Amino acid sequence: MENKEVTNNDKIDQLQDHTTDNSNEKLTTNQGLKINNNQDSLKTDERGATLLEDFILREKITHFDHERIPERIVHARGSGAHGVFKLNKSLAKYTKAKFLNEVGKETPVFVRFSTVAGSAGSTDLARDVRGFAVKFYTDEGNYDLVGNNIPVFFIQDAMKFPDLVHAVKPEPDNAIPQAASAHDTFWDFISLMPESMHMIMWAMSDRAIPRSYRMMEGFGVHSFKFINSEGAVHFVKFHFKPKLGVHSVAWTEAQKISGTDPDFHRRDLWESIEKGAFPEWDFGVQIIPEENEHDFDFDLLDPTKIVPEELVPVQLVGTLTLNRNPDNFFAETEQVAFHPGHLVPGIDFSNDPLLQGRLFSYTDTQLSRLGSPNFHEIPINRSVNTVHNNQRDGHMRQQIVKGKVSYEPNSIGGGCPFQAMMKDGGFASHNERVDGHKVRARSESFVDHYSQAKLFFNSQSTPEKEHLQNALIFELSKVTIPEIRERVVGQLNFINKELAANVAEKLGVEVKKLDKPNGSIPADADPSSLQSEEREPSTKFSEALSMENTVKDTIESRIIGFVMANGVNTQAVKSLKSKLESKGAVVQIIGTSVAPVNADDQTTFVPDHSISSVASVSFDALYICPGEKSVEQLTKPDIKPIVAEFINEAYKHCKAIYFGKDTDEIYKVTNIAKKTHKDRAIIQTSGDNSSDEQFISAVAAHRVWDLEKDRNSMA
């Protein structure tokens, strides 16, 4: 009796003690059941659909979806806008989705952009993936295309999504760092997940610090299916290509912008729409016949792979335009509920295991965040066609349905609402044969983790490669555990040996060969979780992967800072300002203070900024305005160092700088005067029109990244 009593007390104490030490323990479910595969969801076959009976996946994702209230667990920091999608080329050959059939048809949309890792109060300029989610309010119901600005993802199976996000979020012992991947837990996870290396190339590239939401691409990430009216099936990848080209900010700029204007992207989107400079994207599709599914050296179902545009060109078929800001941020941008399972007839899912898990996760997370199964009745989430079904009641119910019938079949209500026949637009899933054994496994076709990472890195311009390398060095320098650094360098060695060696040198570690990078996986585990073979990509180079090849010959919406003081030359200012604004650029006046600037002819310019309270990182280019008295003011002892630092910073970041007539005294106090190379983005003028055109051309080029080293050596 005595021994039994002690044992019971021990059990009670154990139940009352909420602390846990996971050291040397086996993984279990929340019910204590030991888990023997935490890498893969349960499928009908290695490439089959994920099964609803996978209670381990559902428990894991359910817990993950309910870990934060009320802001989103991921994509919490967001901005949105209303707009319209116009179809320019019919896709009726491939899909019966009506909004993609009739040329000229316009469909209302709401688009939300977001960062992934940070909280709602974090900075816009974190190095991070950006969400690019589009809600199409079609005549057949709402269709949500819930994508990112990067076409691949870190993981291949939704089973790993909670692990990925837990790793990148602030570390649980001290909640540090916020909105940053440069820490131990993230890189520990990545170092043990070879499948993440393609995504790491994108995330460490300049794509992860966009100049604006208007200047980044959008991708559906997964392979989806188009189904036409005859039932023919094609795989499809979705693309949004910005009319302004794809551009980024420098990492050092991003850090400074985060301090001076953490709402930089949100403000840019809002102000652009308010001014009528509506953001636009070309909407494109890559279409692959069902019978060609296996024609590639990668798997179409693998979300860590792209379909190179050299293999399947992107067909541009429509235009997405954002033309109206929300009336209320919370009611619209914060409460909008996206879901990849919101489909219309003619679009269907593939068996991508990451997509399959998302189909469960999004409904569950909306229930947690918005508190009711009636989240579809919030105005921003309502479909434009009336909802008719037998669902009733629930928290915050708004729709009032007349009559006593809330079931089907029924005779009291005349059998209404009826099921819709396919010919009447009723949705029917693709009639795909499903067979095989229930397995927790991954297809061998998912094993190649490095060839497309090589493709991405090989396709970058020289400056982009340098930025990517520097990003890796910065991030891994924040990792405090040497073994993690070594494992990441070992992974990089499979992608590019020079890259690995350069990073290793800066980190003070050796490049070591990895045999089994995930040491926590048992020897008899599925081989897809171990090291993949080194392979060379079949497509060696892809122009579409370098931002350098997206530059458009336009200065539309670029912000040009005019630096001036009392006595500025009115004629020169008005002439260039008119030329820039006629081409869609935005001119902002920068004075020595925010007091009105009195020009040489008594014209008054009202500054938008004081040079001591704004940084050059907020501008795409600078014009140092002419005027003898203005130059005298700007070179006074108290203001000259501020002006010089302001211009030097813009120069360091490879921006175009235009020195107006008789501004030599300002030019001389900057680092630009030390340059020994020809710099096409630095314009000095005697006042002729050709200098104006040179400046406009330099701004249209966005940056002179290839001169970055020369400029920094002068800084």
17: pLDDT strictly greater than 80: no
199: pLDDT strictly greater than 60: yes
486: pLDDT strictly greater than 90: yes
- In this prediction, residues 181-205 reach a mean pLDDT of 97
- Residue 118 CA, chain-centre distance (Å), reads 13
Q: Which helix (H) or strand (E) holds 485?
A: helix 482-493
Note if the pTM is more than 0.85.
yes
Q: Which two tokens stand for residue 425?
A: 């637009």
Rounded distance, CA 276 to CA 323, Å?
A: 7
Domains of the chain: 43-160+213-381 (2.40.180.10), 553-714 (3.40.50.880)
Cα dihedral sign for 367, 109, 288, 343? positive
The answer to whether 125 and 249 have CB atoms below 8 angstroms apart is yes
SS3 letters for 419-445? CCCHHHCCCCCCCCCCCCCCEECCCHH
pLDDT band at 515 (very low <50, low <70, confident <90, very high): confident
What pLDDT digit, counting tens, does each position of 637-662 carry?
A: 999 999 999 999 999 999 999 999 99
pLDDT band at 20 (very low <50, low <70, confident <90, very high): low
Neighbours of 606 (CB within 10 A): 10
Alpha helices by DSSP H, listed for 343-434, are: 353-370
The answer to whether 225 and 355 have CB atoms below 8 angstroms apart is no
What pLDDT digit, counting tens, does each position of 387-430 carry?
A: 887 888 888 888 888 888 887 788 888 878 877 777 777 777 88
The answer to whether 673 and 682 have CB atoms below 8 angstroms apart is no
Residue located via tokens 């009216």:
229
Give 133's contacts (C-beta < 8 A, 6+ positions apart): 75, 111, 112, 113, 114, 144, 145, 146, 147, 338
User: Mind telling me the catalytic residues?
Assistant: 75, 148
Q: Is 82 helix (H, G, I), strand (E, B) or coil?
A: strand
Which residues pair with residue 210 across a beta bridge?
Answer: 248
Rounded distance, CA 333 to CA 326, Å?
A: 7
The answer to whether 54 and 44 have CB atoms below 8 angstroms apart is no
What pLDDT digit, counting tens, does each position of 222-270 carry?
A: 999 999 999 999 999 999 999 999 999 999 999 999 999 999 999 999 9
Angle between helices 462-477 and 251-260 (to 10 degrees): 60
pLDDT of 113? 98
The CB-side HSE value for 135 (13 A sphere, CA atoms) comes to: 25
pLDDT of 63? 74
What pLDDT digit, counting tens, does each position of 50-68 carry?
A: 988 887 888 788 778 776 6
